[in-house]
Structures are given as structure tokens and as C-alpha cells.
Chain A
Amino acid sequence: MHCVFRDELDARLNKIQRIFAHFGLNEVERSMATSLVGELGNNVFDHNDGQWPTSVRGAIILAQMNPQKRRVEVVVADPGIGFSGSLKALNPNIASDVDAIKLGLTGVTGRVGESRGQGLQIVQNWTIEKFAGTVRIHSGRGLVEIDANGQRVETVFPIVGTLASFMVKYK
């Protein structure tokens, strides 16, 4: 689903929760997974509104399930300024997209003068600790993957904006 504006994301979280229920996630799992989609979706608008590089804007949310492995993978994508674009205002010495993603994952935010930046930390903590899953962030040329075994980084083909995904294993 494509949420062009923040209000569309808000309105569709109810539907996303129902989709997770349909996938087989229990009440707690689907509530927490919906929270994670909300956090990733909020980031799209928090960091890109007013700065969209093209006329295409918004959060594109995709989910697929693997019932045999009891896994659900969710991707929240955006054609925005990416981690580097958001963080460079406060951190001009960032050398690469991988460095920008790694910095963003620690809770550093490009929103100057505000107390925030917890969203991505909670996405990582819940995905790994509550769902035994994996978080994957692809932004620009950077790809960072985090699971219980740690963090892996790679420089890959470039994209405009960001693909943030989390894979959860449910009971």
C-alpha cells in the first residue's frame, strides 16, 4: 500500500493490524508488529516532508508471509533523501551511506533540537529480542543488516531513498 501522506499511514495502521491477524500473529505480536510499521512509517514523513527529491512521495508498505516457517517480512520504502540526506545537516563528516545508516541506528537523529531518535532502536530491539528476527536497512549505496548475531554492512547498488525492513518469526 502507498501512503502518500502521514494521515493515510495513521488511518491504515488498523488495516495493517488486521492483516497481521490474518497472517496468524497473536494479539500481542500483531500489536507490536503494527507499532514497528508505525515507527518506520513515521520516520518516512518526519525526515522527508519538505525535502522530497522528486514528485513521488510517501511511504510504500509491503508485507509477505511464509506460513510454513511462520515468518512475516515487512518493508517500508520511501523515495526520499535517505539516511545520509537526513543526517548530514547535523553530521557533515559522514563518509558513506553505510556510516549514515549505522549512525541512525544508534539513535542519532537529523531532526535538530528535538528529543527523539528512539524509534529505530526499538525496531531493532523488538525485532531481535521479541521476534528472533532481522532488521535490514538499504539507503543510497548502504546496506546494513542486524540480527541476534550482530551487524553486517555492505556497499551495494544505489537506490533513491530508503528500504527499511524487518522480518519477524511468530508463535
Chain B
Amino acid sequence: MIIQMLKFNTVLNGRPSAKEAASRIQQIINGSAERENVVLDFTGVEVLTPSYADELLRTLREKYGIDKIEIINTSKAVVETLKAVAALVS
């Protein structure tokens, strides 16, 4: 299932917003992750803060497993955020 992150905002900031988004994504998926991957499409997202990325990905990976989460269509800045968060988590 493809989740268009743009529909949450073009600027994705902070843990409270990420918690809400993770909860909403779980409702949207509603069981489909058992059959298919959860694809987070970042088309149109201009800013992704590290705290948002950490909270969202941590929650979804704990729920569905790290292998089920795919990230696509990231800008250079979004990639930098994802790299920075991955480096500090690992």
C-alpha cells in the first residue's frame, strides 16, 4: 500500500505529529501489510525533521517489521534526514 506523505504536510516536523501520522497510517493500512509492503511516498515533501522521521519509522517498523517498510521518491534533503537518523539509531 502506498502512503502519500504529502497528504500529511509538505513540512513534516516533530514527534507528536509523527505519532498521529503513524496512527493514521495504521488505520489506512488496516491489515493490508500482511500481504504487501507499506510504501511511504515522499513526493512533494520539502522538509522532514529528524524527530518526525525517527518517531514515524520507529513506530511503523515496530508494528510491521523493518522489511515491510519501503521509502520512495525522496528529495536530497529528505535523504539527508533519513541517513542522519539511521546513523544515530544504529
Q: Interface on A for B, CB 8 Å cutoff?
A: 6, 9-10, 13-14, 17, 27-28, 31-32, 34-35, 38-39, 42, 46, 107, 115-116, 118-119, 121-122, 125-126, 130
Contact = CB atoms under 8 A, between A and B. Distances in A.
The 8 A-B residue pairs with the shortest CB-CB distance, nearest first, are A31-B77, A38-B49, A38-B13, A118-B88, A13-B11, A35-B49, A28-B76, A34-B47
Contacts of A13: 11, 13, 47
A122 B17 contact: no
Contact of A42 (B46, B51, B58, B89): B51
Interface of B: 10-11, 13-17, 46-51, 54, 58, 75-78, 80-81, 84-85, 88-89
The binding surface of chain B is classed by DSSP as helix
Nearest to A114: B15
B50 A31 contact: no
Given A28-B77, A31-B75, A126-B84, 19 more contacts: A9-B14, A10-B17, A13-B11, A13-B13, A17-B11, A17-B47, A28-B75, A32-B80, A32-B81, A35-B50, A35-B81, A38-B11, A38-B14, A38-B47, A38-B49, A42-B14, A116-B51, A118-B89, A121-B88
B70 to A, nearest CB: 22
Contacts of A121: 88
A6 B11 contact: no
A119 B54 CA distance: 10
Contact of B16 (A6, A35, A125): A6
Contacts of A17: 11, 46-47
A119 B46 CA distance: 18
Contacts of B54: 115-116, 118
A122 B84 contact: yes
Contacts of A42: 13-15, 49, 51
